Structure 1
Amino acid sequence: MKIKYILGTALLGAMGLSSCMKEFAEVNTDPSVIGTPDVRYLFTKELTDFIPSDYWQWFYDFTYMSQWGQVTASNAYLLNSPAKCSGNGNVGRVLKIALEIENQINQKDELGKASYQHIKAMTTPLVVFMGIEDTDMYGSMPFSEAYRARYGGTLTPKYDTQEELFNDFLAQLDNSIQILSNPVTLNGTIVNQVTLGNQDFVYKGDAKKWAKFCNSLKLKIAVRLLNINKEKALKIAEEVANSPAGMITSIDDDFVYNQGSEWFHSQEDPSPGYGNRTLINFMVDNKDPRVRFFFEKNQFNSKVIQAFFDAEAQNTSPDAKIPSFIADKVDYEVVNGRKIFKGWKAPGEPWVRYHGLPITIDASKDKQWEDYFDPTGKLHKIYLNDNDKTYTPVSYMQMEMYEGNRDYTYPDAPGASVVQDKEDMPFYGLYFSAGEVNLYLAELKLIGANLPKSAQEYLTEGIKCSVTAWDKVAGLNHIPYYDSAFDPNEATIELKAGELEHLLEQPAYQLTGDRKQDLEKVYIQQRLHFIFMPQEMFVSMRRSGVPVKNSTLLPYEDFNKDGSYYPIPRRCPFFAGSPTDQMYHLYNQSLKDQGFTIGYDGNQLNTERLWYDKGAPNFGEGPNF
């Protein structure tokens, strides 16, 4: 009986297993068989891999560029010889997916091919944008033949010159503009396009906005051509302005990038440094609201000021003192021999909380900058309430505009309860915008492009769009003090009524007809707009020569105290390749053709210029058109 029971149970189990296996076979896929991917999801993958300002760039390249561009200052030294760059090849992340999208579309029937033309065209600006970023610092690169081996191409793609790259980029953008701006037809019948909806987390599949993006992106190429082929640059600008596709001229069309509610952009903490004193003073003096979005308030709020007063009254910190450039703005009264904070003098909060460091090398060793650097470690440190604390009087770059999961500790007196902002917020990046487009148009108009509006109109609109866009992004990123103030004597930092109008009235933001200085003013605005796009800021500085030495607006400063020459690299370094690499000879020939040598010496990187950089002025010389 026992054996029969076991056999019966086994038989029933086998029958059940057979039934399960049959059902499983119907739903399971043979791992050796590759299914057909959904083109819409491939596009989302490409968009996800489109990250023009990733961690490695911020950790290495952008830290250097921010210092070279005199946006940030080190508290010790200047980085003039980049030992490591993030490396080119970022375009490959999106190019290989764009090629696979094209491959999948090509395998469809004629109607299928026609119905995916918009999605195919939308891949172009992502590739071009990243391609520009790569060639900006490295010049020639494999592109036209790259990543095509699996489709019958070569494993040793040629290096396209920078001139060839720009021609290719322009041709691809023009083709995509044509597709996105007109009905797609097959045998005379309009073909409905497959739509992306939320699979496109930037423009929701809106073909008109993608067409504007493509058309406007041509201006990024045009301004790079100005020093090498001005006529072509101006012609491109006129084509863009007259294109029926339109341009990104409203912040509603800005390319604001966010992958999702739990995407924080980075899990690391790069440290680009503190703001440059001259730059921050320029923005504060003109009450430019963007200083509040790009830099943090310093740590000397009213609670900290009062703590310094209390430490002074109790004589617990005899070496400590409030820095003079902060003390000058403090209004206080003396009650029973004790200083009591009353408020801030003009220009008031939040403007009084933004201060930068001098950029001169070894400024920390200079007695005149003692208040800024605290070389002894005693000036900004107080003992109070059985605790001690050190405070920073200058403004750090606002890295919550880069990373959504940073924690912020509000400054308070020693021993006070710690108050922190620890809420993780999704990261929003402003990668391409109406501010940028209008500032390019202002520049191109001044240089001679036949455009419908005046340079002042483009400049004004560029500033408006820049300020409002960065205000929007600061709000989306919920940076400290944007939503609420920590202390009753503090002000929030969101854009306030009347500020933009006041800003536009400032002489530094108005053109006068002096062409050279007008160009300088436009380039200053590009520099400000690009502070959180350091490579764009650096490219604008490199091709324009702005900031300008001895400027009455926002001068270029000598890095050496004695005014002697300090070489700033104009490109990223190249390193010796491996002879076993299939691309070794092509790589070396490309360097030879461009006149580049191996290594990262500062003088070498300053003199060996990229193709489009060869006619540009030296740093600090100003425009040479």
Structure 2
Amino acid sequence: MKLKYILGTALLGSLSFSSCMEDFSDVNTDPSIITTPDIRYLFTQGLNDFIPSDYWSWYYDFTNMLHWGQVTVSGNTNLLNQPANSSGIGNVVRILKVMREIDYQVESMTDPVKAAQYKHIQSMMKTLVVFMGIQDTDMYGSMPYSEAAMARYTTPALLTPKYDTQEELFTSFDEDLKNAFEVLSNPVVVDGNNVNQMSLGYQDYVYQGDSKKWATFCNSLRLKVAVRLLHVNKEKALQIANEVASHSEYLLTSNGDNCSNNFVYNQGSEWYHSQEDPAPGYGTKVLVDFMVENKDPRVRFFFAKNDLNSKVVQAFFDSEAELGEKCESKIPDFIMDKVDYEVVNGKKVFKGWKAPGEPWVRYYGMPLTINASSDEAYTDYYDPTGKLHKVQLNGTELSYEVASALQMEMYEGNRDYTYPDAPGAEIVQDKTDRPFYAMYFSAGEVNLYLAELKLIGANLPQSAQTYFNDGIKNSVEAWDYIAGANHIPYYDTPFDSNEATIDLKDGEVDALLTKEAYQLNGVDDLEKVYIQQRLNFIFMPNDMYVSMRRSGVPTKDSKYLKFENFSKDGSDYILPRRFPMFAGNPTDLNYNNYEQALKDQGFTIGSGAENLNSERVWYDKGAPEFGAGPNF
């Protein structure tokens, strides 16, 4: 396991970009070597390296967070048998080094007007670095930041950057965002004259160089800082919220057309995000049931339909009729309860779905109890013999998934999907590779932060109910857009005549807002806000887990969405509140700073559950225990 955050020696690799080649006819230099890169393309390189949810994150850290956070279940006997991998989260260095080079190139310019043309690009890059920096420190605490990636630009070379404490980091993050916002939201002036900013156009494939949208993203991102400070500096957190809201024209509170206000990330038509196949597992029964019972459309975007469509249900019936007592396959009772059928000539014939009908009858979660797969009470779910969910028909044998896995076409654009059908039927697949769309920051997130901060005491212009309603509406509509952009199965095309598409329907959001768990009425209001943050963050597992950690929601005594015991006997299962730190190598240049940072934080080396639960990062101190609920 490599030592985390040894950033001091990080250098930019090649600065040669084919698109910024110039005429070298008058220069006695190899044209393949560029010593002064085009800053616009450096920005694009930084944007390309901005990947908050890469393969390693999902394969290790995020998958574990989803398990610990009671979003998914894999049937593992021990949820901690794959400790977090420090190569997963910890990617700020990739864009920090690009920011350093942009700053260096601008500061090296002798013409102040020319240098001033890049102030917006510098501030945009700084905003990206802060975003990644927050994610890096969330589960690890102290890290190099203020002195990181400076070796190339210092004499002598700074090879041992200090570890900024998490308190110092969040002070820096907030100041960096404030300064970037001031630049992005005001004219850049040199000698009394406004300086036009260098245009990025589609070199910026998120906001196309729109400084107003970048300023809005930057200002609103301060709320991500604010909510993390609530347990260690509540006054500062509320102050940040008030300052952010005072710039109402730069507040990300609406999605915009085609989610154009949100930070929607797509590198291009041939970017599929990952070539690998992490499998976080099935949705938990407690979570999927909550979403289905409330008819929350997001369950359709976050989780996959199970395999038991009407054709497969009929195949189970046909196999039963054909094999008689020899038939070992069985439709689970929880699915049969939703099937309307008649008996014709001694054989069951599918007629339709009972309430609530398609598509809701195709979403089922798995029990999250450890070792549930070997518990007879859950035989219908896990099929321990491997025979119940397998159908023999037409000389063919097929197995079917009765529960809903996390919808990983919301993670990867080149996955193939085989539509479930009866054994022996013609195979129908969707093998079209699609450009992948991710959403890393949104109006839904911002409004839900504002609702939380309003309830805790921030002096904000709108009511908590308004922010809450807007947050839910924005979240549902934005994830609907992302599901459509990623062309997940069944989004707008059914497979058989008894199926419904899963795209957002008229009136669904209005109906959702009438549900008790989706209304602020003076009862459990903070818990309800945190439940909505949790739902909004399902495909941003780091933020989901941070929200769960700092809020204590879901709660063990909830009337809406419970935190369930992992152990069947009801005993507590120890969950980590930070990720493991590993022994450093004394030969590493920054070994002493690393060791001192661990000592100062009181962190023990290794992945022992008790230590990872009790040894908290700075801003987590004072937060409630998991499942205990808000303590404000």
The structure with the greater share of residues assigned to helix is: 1
| Structure 2 equivalent of residue 391 of structure 1 | 400
How far has the Cα of 1:400 moved from its partner? 0.1
| Structure 2 equivalent of residue 340 of structure 1 | 349
1:56-80, Cα deviation, whole Å (9 max, x unpaired): 0000001100011000012243422
Rounded Cα–Cα distance in structure 2 between residues aligned with 1:403 and 1:288: 23
Tell me if 1:114 matches 2:121: no
Tell me if 1:420 matches 2:424: no
| Structure 2 equivalent of residue 551 of structure 1 | 558
Uncovered stretches (5+) of structure 1, i.e. residues with no partner? 1-22
Cα distance change of structure 1 residues 353 and 119 upon mapping to structure 2, 3 Å threshold: same
| Structure 2 equivalent of residue 575 of structure 1 | 582
1:106-162, Cα deviation, whole Å (9 max, x unpaired): 122111111111111111110000000000010000000000111115110000000
How far has the Cα of 1:318 moved from its partner? 1.8
How far has the Cα of 1:26 moved from its partner? 6.5
The amino acid that maps onto 2:125 is T
Asked whether the 8 Å contact 1:439–1:462 carries over to 2, the reply is: yes
| Structure 2 equivalent of residue 196 of structure 1 | 200
- TM-score, normalization: structure 2? 0.93
Cα distance change of structure 1 residues 381 and 394 upon mapping to structure 2, 3 Å threshold: same
Tell me if 1:301 matches 2:309: yes
Aligned equivalent of 2:615, options 604, 608, 616: 608
Rounded Cα–Cα distance in structure 1 between residues aligned with 2:366 and 2:46: 40
Asked whether the 8 Å contact 1:60–1:86 carries over to 2, the reply is: no
Residue 406 of structure 2 aligns to a residue whose secondary structure is coil
Tell me if 1:205 matches 2:212: no
Asked whether the 8 Å contact 1:181–1:207 carries over to 2, the reply is: yes
| Structure 2 equivalent of residue 137 of structure 1 | 139
Cα distance change of structure 1 residues 311 and 42 upon mapping to structure 2, 3 Å threshold: same
How far has the Cα of 1:582 moved from its partner? 1.0
How far has the Cα of 1:243 moved from its partner? 2.0
Residue 315 of structure 1 aligns to a residue whose secondary structure is helix
Asked whether the 8 Å contact 1:215–1:245 carries over to 2, the reply is: no
| Structure 2 equivalent of residue 100 of structure 1 | 101
Rounded Cα–Cα distance in structure 1 between residues aligned with 2:624 and 2:451: 20
Write the mapping of 1:178-193 to structure 2, written as runs, cut at 5 A: 178-193=182-197
The amino acid that maps onto 1:483 is D
How far has the Cα of 1:212 moved from its partner? 0.5
Say which is worse superposed, 582-591 or 145-154, in terms of deviation. Answer: 145-154
How far has the Cα of 1:405 moved from its partner? 0.0
Asked whether the 8 Å contact 2:64–2:84 carries over to 1, the reply is: no
Residue 219 of structure 1 aligns to a residue whose secondary structure is helix
Cα distance change of structure 1 residues 25 and 189 upon mapping to structure 2, 3 Å threshold: closer
Uncovered stretches (5+) of structure 2, i.e. residues with no partner? 1-22
| Structure 2 equivalent of residue 225 of structure 1 | 229
The amino acid that maps onto 2:595 is N
Asked whether the 8 Å contact 2:253–2:447 carries over to 1, the reply is: yes
Tell me if 1:443 matches 2:447: no
Say which is worse superposed, 584-593 or 105-114, in terms of deviation. Answer: 105-114
Rounded Cα–Cα distance in structure 1 between residues aligned with 2:328 and 2:34: 72
Rounded Cα–Cα distance in structure 2 between residues aligned with 1:119 and 1:380: 56
| Structure 2 equivalent of residue 38 of structure 1 | 38
The amino acid that maps onto 1:270 is P
How far has the Cα of 1:28 moved from its partner? 8.2
Asked whether the 8 Å contact 2:303–2:405 carries over to 1, the reply is: yes
Q: Which has the larger radius of gyration?
A: 1
| Structure 2 equivalent of residue 599 of structure 1 | 606
Aligned equivalent of 1:268, options 276, 290, 300: 276
Rounded Cα–Cα distance in structure 1 between residues aligned with 2:24 and 2:527: 70
Residue 141 of structure 1 aligns to a residue whose secondary structure is coil
Residue 270 of structure 2 aligns to a residue whose secondary structure is coil
| Structure 1 equivalent of residue 128 of structure 2 | 126
Residue 331 of structure 1 aligns to a residue whose secondary structure is strand
Write the mapping of 1:269-284 to structure 2, written as runs, cut at 5 A: 269-284=277-292
Rounded Cα–Cα distance in structure 2 between residues aligned with 1:43 and 1:203: 13
How far has the Cα of 1:334 moved from its partner? 1.2
Rounded Cα–Cα distance in structure 2 between residues aligned with 1:234 and 1:111: 38
Asked whether the 8 Å contact 1:208–1:245 carries over to 2, the reply is: no
Aligned length: 601
1:304-327, Cα deviation, whole Å (9 max, x unpaired): 000001011112652111100000
Rounded Cα–Cα distance in structure 2 between residues aligned with 1:550 and 1:322: 33
Asked whether the 8 Å contact 1:334–1:340 carries over to 2, the reply is: yes
How far has the Cα of 1:486 moved from its partner? 0.6
| Structure 2 equivalent of residue 164 of structure 1 | 168
Residue 250 of structure 2 aligns to a residue whose secondary structure is coil
Rounded Cα–Cα distance in structure 1 between residues aligned with 2:197 and 2:191: 15
Cα distance change of structure 1 residues 360 and 28 upon mapping to structure 2, 3 Å threshold: farther
